[in-house]
Structure 1
């Protein structure tokens, strides 16, 4: 029981005790005007209000998007060449009834993948049939290297499962104790308050512990809904890690019915762009395109001309390279000018296929925005995929932006503690901590992650491409990077125990992405382009 109390305290005080004083919309505000280091989206959109713009399609390659959300109405892409629900590929693009996007992790029978293995488990399973019960001494040099990787993967998986088992059981016990308290009250969880819990009269020791923990959380400004939401998330996390992510016996791909290693296969899946768990993707979509100034929820960075194309590719587990490559190609072929990719993993067995898709996007003038990851570590080309460097080469994609996460306080905590970083491989930082945005069923929630920082930049890119459509993707990338607001601060290095570094050393730009400065620079760049064209035309006339 002492362990239960300790764990409850950790769960509810770590995530909830330090309540942020920043407003829910801090991430769209301006540091000069509002004192919060947001992306100045409100200022940029106000500046552009009376200027001409064109619709711009942003593909959200993610877990799915609730396209019926109240705050996304009018902001969802529609394939005008497809007749909804007729079961015919009207536009002959290979995808039947792809009215609002496509789902690469669904089956033709309408079923959908929700949970998936991590890539390390899939690689282990591929090697297991070959190397299980084999002796290393009887292998050739190439096989010994592969055998050693197999043993390394096995050790990681075994250790992780040994660690997860007790944690999953512990959180299940905590959840049971809290649910018992709710049952005692005979109320729905969303209606319970800290005062209700405090008023419980029970001799049950578990309920007594819950009362103390909820009281401590309430004293720190957290509601019971905060506590319960945090607990549900932790319970689901450990349970899914054990049952699915790190479980070699679990295989969900039969739902799709394809060969996931056949990189030439492009036409599979279904048209369900929401899927069974669209929380992450809907949150991302809201940051980019939630309708501004409609007295609902949040205001998207990208303004009123963004159209979200939902491409469901990312399960609760690691995405597959085949699906990522096909999702990028689908987005390009169907008119997306910006692609948001808030996902990543530690291995990429078919990186060449993703590289080819990245190159395809670049050739077709499409900007790719990718989240740097949440491991609180220095990014390398071997620990985070996908990335912008072609397999086995030094050449990089020219229309790729890698984004780290910042918090709402302009002080030593500015770099989010979970964010990955690298002076060479991370391009810019953007708000990614305590981000309030849309979630399914007309709900809203606060999430943390570089997954939230990437769509800030995708929103800026959409704003620029909407109002300055003549600018190329490579120019938009350069504008976002060159207009990043420099930060001259010593900050706590993400993932460290208080070690201080210059914020400028965490990314290539050393700054924070900013919509207003990007728009102003885009204006100047557009003017420069026009002058160059005029000069070229004049020289042709003279010639």
Structure 2
């Protein structure tokens, strides 16, 4: 399947403030595709087959009847959306249909090659078969879109959105135009009350159709479509039976009279396209048909106050067609108070340039509490709280939601087309962004940084304001540079008014005059705004200035991993730097790492509509200061995935929240922890929602990992990957946890150019894995990997070469071995077991061996009268009897304790040494096996 084959199981809702139920992810095992001849009838399909039916009715009339009786169904029970490849012949299509007993319902939904295919066979199996069929580009379910209950509040301010302090200044636009009847806005919604007195005069009329004669007079494929079409009931009567579409229509184009309300563009025509029924439910196939109808029948703008769910390939394809036709698709941003940058919402988040996404503000200018937002994914803000408009039956009511904000924008776009009939959707979109009234509270809410200004936008489109041009000495500079902007302005009588130009940035005034000298001290992209007002008209010019950050780096050179130091040792910490970093802090931080790889070559399967979990056991106990999470997985269409990490106590952090869209994979290269990982870190430079697949490098997670700060590392951590959609699957290969604990400050405020500082290892630093950190907020670096500190001061030990005393037939060498490399008799590869166990503890084999003997001696001595004293002092000299001394006991009692162990077990000193090491190594390897 190509990447276009997306069809998420989701409910789409009216974008009005309301509580939305979450659709749970199924926990059932996926069914395997069946050969075509074995596809069973669906239960409902078998009933219809037995009774008989007319081709095409099951996926339309019968499906909609079932939806009417049961609004909770999630998809068309008798239909699939199928797009055939451009190269597919009629024979190829016929063969594909035969495989699923399918029937093409009507003409292509998008006018090209996307069809509603009717089949009474099992839909899941039919979809699987068509996915593998030649000539099929993509296939998906015909999902249900479902409306929520509409809220209302009749006590809110009336029409503040048009002329209030934080409204759109519609009167300023009306001074230039009330609209033009040649401009048509399609209301893709629940329909429109065709008899409403405030809407009747502005209904679009299909002049090629004769009302009521039962014929398709204009040959557009629809009968009696005088004012639009009803795709729910498949007839030419798109009357609203819900209220939502009528409310939207009134905000756009209620007539200017003494009755009721007035729309933003009161001389504009509205096309009624009903694809949601009285309960607010409908199929995506009908939404595509509605947009196709709008484009094909001359609507230059459409309002889309509905949303939710995921990206649909059929809708995306039709948006491509609409873009070519210069059609502007205005979409509500959504009502989940969600950051659309991190968690896209559709149709608002489609990437086509003709999609204009709208957030909502309230009457005090602030973002509405329910409104979605997005610094890069939402374009503009418009009034959406407490909006009075028309409803079914000739009345009026107040609703709230981004559903109410979008029609304000659609109306202004219609006014802009009225003053310039040749204007492009791109110009409309850019003018609306550039002329918005900037509000500091909204600068991170939308690209515009403020609420649309109807008067300024229409002026920009008409060119009726004063002339204004701006030049800049540079538009891309390095941080710290100075840029000079020069303005030349003239009023409508060509009188120079350059000195009246006002300059601002994000709503903050920068000065007035024909020049602006700006110090570019903050890296990033900024929009310098110049505006001048004469004769009641305002013209503005936005200049985008890109400020490139000066390169600042710090690189730790030593210790950089692999070194082994002792308490009391003087360690030279060295680094290099580039750029004006300033003073830095130098610290030593403890680190614990845990990782989990799935051993099978194919990885741990990530299955549609299921959650895959990987458990990482961390046996060490330490307090977490910071944490980084490495991830390596392969999956087509990352936007399906919801990824979380849970602490052993249940505390859970969302790492990735349906990010990456059509992109594939997290990490790249080897399908293991040795590949290039996606690393989630609170210190990442880019939020994962703003990144792109395969997300190689460090990214800020959707929720901060600081939620784990202060918790203990020990226990079973769980990485969960939920695939919330159909069609795309994958594999999870690796999860890696890197904990950073105690931070020991070595030096503070040190000139970065010094490049070195000496650190004497204190006794307070226990045996552990450590890393050096050097830097500040501008630049920093840590050691590439860990170095270690022995748990005690440097010591000198005497070693004795001991011959093994076990029978050589047991696999022991017959020649003497160094006491610190004595092999145990309990493993196929004894030496490897010792080395692996020692590495697991961060020790050398010699340290492990002396530890092992000490532990066993201590435990056995506890049972006798000669109790050893526990200390961290140096071991005594070894004297006779082939006894190895432990590092962990004082002189008094130790020799006797070891001799007692040997006597109690009937072993010599060398045998005691090997036995003790075997026991500890065995326990350690058990722990290692459990963690992997």
Query: TM-score of the superposition, structure 2-length normalised?
Result: 0.33
Match of 2:215 in 1: 88
The answer to which of 338-347 and 311-320 deviates more is 311-320
Q: More helix by proportion, 1 or 2?
A: 1
Match of 2:327 in 1: 366
Quick one: structure 1 residues 299 and 319, their matched pair in 2 at CA, closer, same or farther if it must change by over 3 Å?
same
Secondary structure, counterpart of 1:461 in structure 2: helix
Among 509, 514, 531, the alignment partner of 2:453 is: 514
Match of 1:256 in 2: none
Secondary structure, counterpart of 1:47 in structure 2: coil
Deviations 1:110-166 (A, max 9, x none): xxxxxxxxxxxxxxxxxxxxxxxxxxxxxxxxxxxxxxxxxxxxxxxxxxxxxxxxx
Quick one: structure 1 residues 527 and 325, their matched pair in 2 at CA, closer, same or farther if it must change by over 3 Å?
farther
- 1:329-368 maps to which residues of 2 (within 5 A)? 329-348=292-311, 351-368=312-329
1: CA distance between counterparts of 2:327 and 2:465? 18
Work out whether residues 339 and 367 of structure 1, in 8 Å CA contact, stay in contact via their aligned partners in 2. yes
| Number of aligned positions between the proteins | 316
2: CA distance between counterparts of 1:288 and 1:307? 9
1: CA distance between counterparts of 2:370 and 2:450? 17
1:404 paired with 2:538, answer no
The answer to which of 310-319 and 95-104 deviates more is 310-319
- 1:135-146 maps to which residues of 2 (within 5 A)? none
1:307 paired with 2:441, answer no
2: CA distance between counterparts of 1:385 and 1:45? 32
Work out whether residues 190 and 280 of structure 2, in 8 Å CA contact, stay in contact via their aligned partners in 1. no
Secondary structure, counterpart of 1:64 in structure 2: coil
2: CA distance between counterparts of 1:105 and 1:368? 21
Among 404, 427, 433, the alignment partner of 1:481 is: 433
Shift of 1:43: 2.1
Match of 2:253 in 1: 289
Shift of 1:54: 5.4
1: CA distance between counterparts of 2:235 and 2:383? 33
Match of 1:438 in 2: 390
Secondary structure, counterpart of 1:70 in structure 2: coil
Work out whether residues 75 and 291 of structure 1, in 8 Å CA contact, stay in contact via their aligned partners in 2. yes
2: CA distance between counterparts of 1:526 and 1:360? 34
Match of 1:45 in 2: 174
Unaligned runs of 5+ in 2: 1-150, 468-932
Secondary structure, counterpart of 2:459 in structure 1: helix
Match of 2:162 in 1: 28
Deviations 1:14-71 (A, max 9, x none): 9879x64x3x1211105xxxxx21111122112336xx95520100000110011011
Work out whether residues 369 and 403 of structure 1, in 8 Å CA contact, stay in contact via their aligned partners in 2. yes
1: CA distance between counterparts of 2:171 and 2:329? 24
Shift of 1:377: 1.5
Match of 2:345 in 1: 384
Deviations 1:369-424 (A, max 9, x none): 000111111125755222443xxxxxx312110000111113xxx11001011111
Shift of 1:334: 0.5
2: CA distance between counterparts of 1:101 and 1:53? 19
Work out whether residues 471 and 526 of structure 1, in 8 Å CA contact, stay in contact via their aligned partners in 2. no
Deviations 1:498-527 (A, max 9, x none): xxxxx2111111110121010111123999
Secondary structure, counterpart of 1:478 in structure 2: helix
Match of 1:67 in 2: 194
- 1:489-500 maps to which residues of 2 (within 5 A)? 489=441
Work out whether residues 303 and 463 of structure 1, in 8 Å CA contact, stay in contact via their aligned partners in 2. no
1: CA distance between counterparts of 2:221 and 2:285? 16
1: CA distance between counterparts of 2:449 and 2:395? 35
Quick one: structure 1 residues 465 and 397, their matched pair in 2 at CA, closer, same or farther if it must change by over 3 Å?
same
Match of 1:415 in 2: 367
Shift of 1:488: 2.0
Quick one: structure 1 residues 509 and 102, their matched pair in 2 at CA, closer, same or farther if it must change by over 3 Å?
same
1: CA distance between counterparts of 2:360 and 2:209? 38
1:274 paired with 2:239, answer yes
1: CA distance between counterparts of 2:348 and 2:399? 24
2: CA distance between counterparts of 1:54 and 1:276? 26
2: CA distance between counterparts of 1:365 and 1:527? 28
Shift of 1:328: 0.7
2: CA distance between counterparts of 1:372 and 1:434? 17
User: Which structure carries more relative contact order (alpha carbon 8 Å, separation 6+)?
Assistant: 1
1: CA distance between counterparts of 2:466 and 2:290? 35
Shift of 1:365: 0.8
1: CA distance between counterparts of 2:173 and 2:440? 23
Q: CA RMSD in A?
A: 2.3
Shift of 1:480: 1.2
Quick one: structure 1 residues 473 and 383, their matched pair in 2 at CA, closer, same or farther if it must change by over 3 Å?
closer
1: CA distance between counterparts of 2:273 and 2:180? 25
Secondary structure, counterpart of 1:358 in structure 2: helix
Among 463, 470, 482, the alignment partner of 1:524 is: 463
2: CA distance between counterparts of 1:398 and 1:72? 30
Unaligned runs of 5+ in 1: 1-13, 31-35, 107-268, 390-395, 490-502, 529-543
1: CA distance between counterparts of 2:313 and 2:424? 25
Deviations 1:75-123 (A, max 9, x none): 00000100000000000000011111011111xxxxxxxxxxxxxxxxx
Match of 1:57 in 2: 184
Work out whether residues 430 and 454 of structure 1, in 8 Å CA contact, stay in contact via their aligned partners in 2. yes
Work out whether residues 152 and 397 of structure 2, in 8 Å CA contact, stay in contact via their aligned partners in 1. no
Runs of at least 4 residues off by over 6 Å: 14-17, 525-528
2: CA distance between counterparts of 1:362 and 1:288? 22
Shift of 1:486: 0.7
Quick one: structure 1 residues 15 and 526, their matched pair in 2 at CA, closer, same or farther if it must change by over 3 Å?
closer
Among 395, 407, 410, the alignment partner of 1:458 is: 410
Quick one: structure 1 residues 53 and 324, their matched pair in 2 at CA, closer, same or farther if it must change by over 3 Å?
closer
Among 284, 300, 316, the alignment partner of 1:321 is: 284
Secondary structure, counterpart of 2:440 in structure 1: coil
1: CA distance between counterparts of 2:466 and 2:456? 16
Quick one: structure 1 residues 85 and 299, their matched pair in 2 at CA, closer, same or farther if it must change by over 3 Å?
same
Shift of 1:317: 4.4
1:471 paired with 2:417, answer no
Query: TM-score of the superposition, structure 1-length normalised?
Result: 0.55
1: CA distance between counterparts of 2:237 and 2:369? 35
Rg comparison, structure with higher value: 2
Q: More strand by proportion, 1 or 2?
A: 2
